[in-house]
Amino acid sequence: MFVDHPEEVPDTAVSAVAALDEPTRRRLYDHVVRQPGPVSRDDAAAALGLARQTAAFHLDRLADESLLDVVYERRSGRTGPGAGRPAKLYKRSTTQVTVSLPERHYELAGRLLAQAVEEAEATGEPVRAVLHRKAHDLGAQLAGQGGTTVLGLLERYGFEPRSDGAAIVLGNCPFHTLAREHTETVCGMNLHLLRGALQGLDESGLQACLAPSPGYCCVRLEPASAPARGNPDSAQGVFPGGRDGSAARPPGDGDQHE
């Protein structure tokens, strides 16, 4: 099962993207990733008309930011004594750098949806039932990483939790665009994801329920003693009028909801 670690990503990802704001560094990055093989400092400097020292400085900065990988090869093809030192070469990094503000986790949603479709095709079980089970299991797994609270876990995965009396509302939907276009599917998935997280944290004082409201994720954490809202198994019927619980209208780009 896929486990993400977004708390490790934002600062390093922002730093990596910021590194590309320097024009010479961006030119070097674009040059390296367009080449069919690793590129040396000398090759890069000659291709872009730069001093070797300048090219080396910027290439090493790109490597430090995990935007490029460093490999060492002997370009002469010789081996053994007298073959010389291997050259330091640069190539596209295998690390994927993504920055999203507000925070989004579409890869997590995509993996869950793909797993659900594949298992449903193999077993004949309804896709939605598989999706809900997979989401619940993933939520429990994420909670099982340890060393966190409900608020800490929600912050880690970009939900922007806020207290609303004894309840917790979520100021951001990590699956925002998908939720706007496939509301019932994605909101149901998210509902079961958070139910699994609560179970994994052994948090019996809260329950996840569907309670759409303009500007918020439509999953809300209510005190366990409060009556559960909405259909317990899907998002069907919980959006009177508009998808976000408001009057019927196309949701604006600034709306954040499931």
What is the reported pLDDT for 81? 56
5 φ/ψ sector (left φ>0, alpha ψ -120 to 50, else beta) = beta
Residue 170 and residue 216 in contact, taking contact as beta carbons nearer than 8 Å:
yes
3-state secondary structure of 112: helix
What is the reported pLDDT for 85? 77
Q: Give mean pLDDT, residues 190-201.
A: 96
Tell me which range, 102-106, 196-200, 246-250, is most confidently predicted by mean pLDDT: 196-200
What is the reported pLDDT for 9? 46
CA contacts within 13 A on the Cβ side of 145:
18
3-state secondary structure of 147: coil
Checking if the pLDDT of 255 tops 50, the result is no
Distances 134 to 40, 114, 218 between C-alpha atoms, Å: 46, 11, 20
Q: How far apart are CA 175 and CA 98, in angstroms?
A: 15
Q: For residue range 51-106, what is the model confidence (pLDDT) as tens digits?
A: 999 999 999 999 999 999 999 987 666 565 555 678 899 999 988 877 667 788 99
| Residues 6 or more apart in contact with residue 232 via CB below 8 angstroms | 209
Q: DSSP H helical segments within 157-254, as ranges?
A: 176-181, 183-200
Distances 163 to 48, 169, 182, 189 between C-alpha atoms, Å: 54, 6, 27, 23
Q: For residue range 162-194, what is the model confidence (pLDDT) as tens digits?
A: 999 999 999 999 999 999 999 999 999 999 999
Q: How far apart are CA 213 and CA 236, in angstroms?
A: 15
pTM of the entire structure? 0.68
